[in-house]
Amino acid sequence: MSTSKKNAVSESEISVHWREEGSFIPSQAFIAQANLRDAAIFDRFSADHFPDCFTEYAELLHWERRWDQVLDTSNPPFWRWFTGGVLNASYNCIDRHLATLRNKAALHFVPEDEDEPVVHLTYQDLYVRVNELAAYLRFDLGLRKGDRVTLHLPMIPELPITMLACARLGLIHSQVFSGFSAKAVAERATDSQSRVLITADAYRRSGKLYDHKARADEAVELAAQMGHLIEQVLIWQRYPGHASSASPMVPGRDRVLGDELRAYRGRRVAPEPMEATDPLFLMYTSGTTGKPKGCQHSTGGYLAYAAGTARAVLDLQPQDVYWCMADIGWITGHSYIVYGPLALGASVVLFEGLPSHPDAGRPWRIARDLGVSIFYTSPTAIRALRRGGSDQPEKYDYSFKLMGTVGEPIEPEVWRWYFETVGKGQAVIIDTWWQTETGGVLTSTLPAIHPAKPGSTGPALPGIYPLLLDEQGREIPERSGRAANLCIRNPWPGIMQCIWNDPERFVDTYYGRFCRDRKSTDWRDWPYMAGDAATQDADGYIRILGRIDDVINVAGHRIGSKEIESAALTAPEVAEAAVVAVADPVKGRVPELYVSLKPGEQGSAALVARIGQIVIHEIGKIASPRHVWIVPDMPKTRSGKIMRRVLVALSEGRDPGDISTLANAEVVEEIRKLMG
Ligand code: WT7
């Protein structure tokens, strides 16, 4: 796959990735029970059947009124799915299940503190609580369809309850990840013009009870400085009846929801009839500029896609207990903790805390005690659990049928640990690629149909037609193994509708580069650009090489940083590895490698040399890191992503800039010291 062209090679063309691995075939037992066992779905979703094929997903929902048109493409790229259709997301996730599933657990809430009991909420409980809150929001606060409401809620049952109460009324919720700062809340509330902020007084994380309400006070103040008034702050108490925050209540502005809702016991609100194309929520995500983008998702298309893919990819079934360890503050949690699974009537685990607290056995105790059968998490979490206790899973008696991963490429080394140790060699693994913008999974194996291949996400899902374009917008031949910009040819129901209040940025960011003709009203001229580089193997599987900007260009050779990291991880001492591209006067960029070691391992010059040798051995001299830095820990965001920008600055001897968003800012100074 090496590209030794004389002409300039594009940034997205990466010469090497980790090498092709063997494939893993699902067991007969898994296939026998799966929702989808027949590849005929790909015929039903063939290009000839686009867009009508997606009615198969829409029919998983209850519609007050059936749609007139499956897809209206008259104003590209503002696709409108299921126009004329009327439905309500809260009705679909709750009310319609009551007849058959009233007593089934909708949510199993697991507090971080192991001494606190697990809280089980049935669909009936959810119905009662969502209605009471919806009644309050409507009749006390006067909120109306289309109003935006900003949420800054931690992982407590009140988060999905609040989302669903908003959805019931047609309010557009905008949940900001609870680990984000007051400034992030203020910016998002201002951008979306939310006059109400719903938060919690506290939450538990790493054994501590955090004062969360204080951040709401700061957010209101910062928003005011931005010229926006947050009129009302509604507060869920982490321990109902007890104030866990030291920050005083502001009369007139702050209200404790537990107290307010007393007057609303037993109240019910009819679900607001929503057009399929009415927005359901906003999810802000970072772009290339400093200003976060408010990704606007629709009611009908989004919910149909979340439900359809949860059924197809996660294989959710009535008897499953399903645990997605992501935070609901990210799109993964919106689509695959709340909307997709609840639309299907699933039982969902909601975990408040840090998976490695108080020890790396915690997730496996939860899995054992709740009988979890489906588990979904990120490579970062898998690496952290491996690092903290690679021998832990075997100590616990649990059994997964399916395990998923999402968010970043997973190194084959880590994939195999996930498979062999966490999955005990029995669970099927899916590697799901998608984005905040896409609403749901776009590439993954269908677990009972395709073999899994470590390091490869899999083929495109039914009805999704990927396209690899080079820098000039030329199509790369299918299945050629050449790296290029990953695009999707066709619209699909889960695609975001717009960037809130910024249609121009929406068009420019996702369609600007490869649109063939901006005046064209033919959807075929408007491929969606994902911003990732990828290759397609001979078998049609898509490998994600990472964001275009993660690519390292060493002396004209493109190397995926993940490849070097994967090699480093084969050293038995290494727990985590991160590669950064560092400016070099001769080679343009060279990789530098940061590694942290497993507990009990010691760094040494010999180990540094050996890791360097492993990289050369696994990939070639071109990938040899200029330095291997053994560090006590990686600088990480609160969501666990390694901040490569900080590592690049350290390597280049520059000021790392603002490190206030790091979960472990102190490590920056420690690394600087050891670099001498
Ligand atoms: C970016 C999107 C989708 C929810 C979580 C992240 C990367 C996502 C994979 C995967 C390799 C992946 C891509 C993508 N990504 N899934 N399975 N393999 N990379 O959502 O924050 O919007 O990030 O995450 O680079 O563009 P997000």
Q: What is the pLDDT of residues 61-115, one digit of tens each?
A: 999 999 999 999 999 999 999 999 999 999 999 999 999 999 999 999 999 999 9
Residue 8 confidence (pLDDT): 31
Cross-strand partners of 198: 151, 234
Distance (angstroms) between ligand 1 centre and the Cα of 244 equals 35
Residue 284: C-alpha distances to residues 174, 231, 268, 281 (Å): 8, 21, 31, 10
Closest residue by Cα to atom 12, ligand 1, is: 408
Closest residue by Cα to atom 3, ligand 1, is: 435
Residue 7 confidence (pLDDT): 31
User: Which of the pair, 25 or 12, is modelled with greater confidence?
Assistant: 25
Element at 470 (helix H, strand E): none
| Band of pLDDT at residue 19, cut at 50, 70 and 90 | low
Cross-strand partners of 642: 636
Provide the mean pLDDT of the chain: 92
Residue 10 confidence (pLDDT): 40
Q: Is 258 helix (H, G, I), strand (E, B) or coil?
A: helix
Asked if the model's pLDDT at residue 550 lies above 60, the reply is: no
Cross-strand partners of 636: 642
Instruction: Provide the Cα torsion 218, 224, 230, 234; round to 10°.
Output: 10
DSSP string, 39-81: THHHHHTSGGGTTGGGHHHHTTS--SB--SEEEE-SSTT--EE
**Are the beta carbons of 608 and 644 closer than 8 angstroms?**
no
Asked if the model's pLDDT at residue 558 lies above 80, the reply is: no
Distance (angstroms) between ligand 1 centre and the Cα of 154 equals 22
Residue 18 confidence (pLDDT): 58
Atom of ligand 1 nearest to the CA of 405: 17
pLDDT digits (tens, 9 = 90+) for 337-373: 999 999 999 999 999 999 999 999 999 999 999 999 9
Pair of tokens at residue 507: 């068009």
| Band of pLDDT at residue 404, cut at 50, 70 and 90 | very high
Spatial separation of the C-alpha atoms in residues 132 and 91, rounded to whole Å? 14
Q: What is the pTM of this model?
A: 0.85
Distance (angstroms) between ligand 1 centre and the Cα of 297 equals 17
Distance (angstroms) between ligand 1 centre and the Cα of 544 equals 9
What angle in degrees, to the nearest 10, is found between the helix axes of 561-568 and 605-618?
A: 130
**Nearest CA to 92 among 240, 366, 306?**
306
**Are the beta carbons of 186 and 219 closer than 8 angstroms?**
yes
Spatial separation of the C-alpha atoms in residues 376 and 337, rounded to whole Å? 10
CB atoms within 10 A of CB 572: 8
Q: Which residues contact 270 (CB under 8 A, 6 or more apart)?
A: none
Residue 557 confidence (pLDDT): 52
CB atoms within 10 A of CB 208: 11
Q: Mutate which of 175, 180, 295, 408 to test ligand 1's pocket (most atoms within 8 Å of Cβ)?
A: 408
Helix, strand, coil: what percent of the chain each, to 5?
30, 25, 45
The beta-strand segments (E) located in 216-278 are: 232-236, 254-256, 274-275
Closest residue by Cα to atom 23, ligand 1, is: 435
Terminal Cα distance for the chain, rounded: 39
Cross-strand partners of 433: 443
Residue 554 confidence (pLDDT): 59
Q: What is the CA radius of gyration of the chain?
A: 24
| Band of pLDDT at residue 640, cut at 50, 70 and 90 | confident
Q: Mutate which of 495, 544, 641 to test ligand 1's pocket (most atoms within 8 Å of Cβ)?
A: 544
Pair of tokens at residue 262: 């007393």
Closest residue by Cα to atom 24, ligand 1, is: 407
Q: Mutate which of 334, 337, 406 to test ligand 1's pocket (most atoms within 8 Å of Cβ)?
A: 406
The beta-strand segments (E) located in 463-556 are: 466-469, 484-488, 498-499, 528-536, 542-547, 551-554
**Are the beta carbons of 378 and 405 closer than 8 angstroms?**
yes
Spatial separation of the C-alpha atoms in residues 268 and 286, rounded to whole Å? 38
Q: Which residue type, as a one-letter code, is found at position 507?
A: V
Residue 28 confidence (pLDDT): 95
User: Which of the pair, 460 or 3, is modelled with greater confidence?
Assistant: 460
Asked if the model's pLDDT at residue 165 lies above 60, the reply is: yes
Spatial separation of the C-alpha atoms in residues 96 and 10, rounded to whole Å? 51
| Band of pLDDT at residue 660, cut at 50, 70 and 90 | confident
* Strand pairing category for 588-597 and 628-630: parallel
Spatial separation of the C-alpha atoms in residues 350 and 203, rounded to whole Å? 14
Cross-strand partners of 347: 321
Asked if the model's pLDDT at residue 562 lies above 80, the reply is: no
| Band of pLDDT at residue 5, cut at 50, 70 and 90 | very low
Atom of ligand 1 nearest to the CA of 547: 25
**Mean pLDDT computed over 5-20:** 42
pLDDT digits (tens, 9 = 90+) for 211-247: 999 999 999 999 999 999 999 999 999 999 999 999 9
Buried b (16+ CB within 10 A) or exposed e, 213-239: bebbbebbebbeeeebebebbbbbbbe
Buried b (16+ CB within 10 A) or exposed e, 33-64: ebbbbeeebbeebeeeebbebbebbbebbebe
Q: Which residue type, as a one-letter code, is found at position 38?
A: D
Pair of tokens at residue 85: 């259709």
Distance (angstroms) between ligand 1 centre and the Cα of 43 equals 27
Pair of tokens at residue 358: 């108080």
Share of the chain above pLDDT 70, in %: 93
Closest residue by Cα to atom 27, ligand 1, is: 435
**Nearest CA to 324 among 143, 110, 100?**
110
Residue 553 confidence (pLDDT): 53
Pair of tokens at residue 501: 């209040």
User: Which of the pair, 378 or 559, is modelled with greater confidence?
Assistant: 378
Distance (angstroms) between ligand 1 centre and the Cα of 532 equals 9
Closest residue by Cα to atom 8, ligand 1, is: 407
Spatial separation of the C-alpha atoms in residues 674 and 452, rounded to whole Å? 41
Ligand 1 binding pocket (C-beta < 6 A) is: 285, 331-332, 406-409, 431-436, 457, 530-532, 544, 546-547
Q: Which of 61-70, 150-159, 477-486, 616-625 has the lowest mean pLDDT?
A: 616-625
Distance (angstroms) between ligand 1 centre and the Cα of 546 equals 8
Asked if the model's pLDDT at residue 399 lies above 60, the reply is: yes
Residue 1 confidence (pLDDT): 29
Closest residue by Cα to atom 6, ligand 1, is: 407
Q: Which residue has the tokens 């075939």?
A: 25
Element at 590 (helix H, strand E): strand 588-597
Share of the chain above pLDDT 90, in %: 80
Asked if the model's pLDDT at residue 556 lies above 60, the reply is: no
Pair of tokens at residue 39: 């590849």
Residue 105 confidence (pLDDT): 98
Distance (angstroms) between ligand 1 centre and the Cα of 575 equals 22
Q: Where are the alpha helices (DSSP H) in 262-338?
A: 300-312, 331-333
Residue 549 confidence (pLDDT): 57
Spatial separation of the C-alpha atoms in residues 471 and 361, rounded to whole Å? 46
Closest residue by Cα to atom 1, ligand 1, is: 435
Spatial separation of the C-alpha atoms in residues 162 and 487, rounded to whole Å? 35
Element at 145 (helix H, strand E): none
Atom of ligand 1 nearest to the CA of 550: 25
Spatial separation of the C-alpha atoms in residues 196 and 436, rounded to whole Å? 24
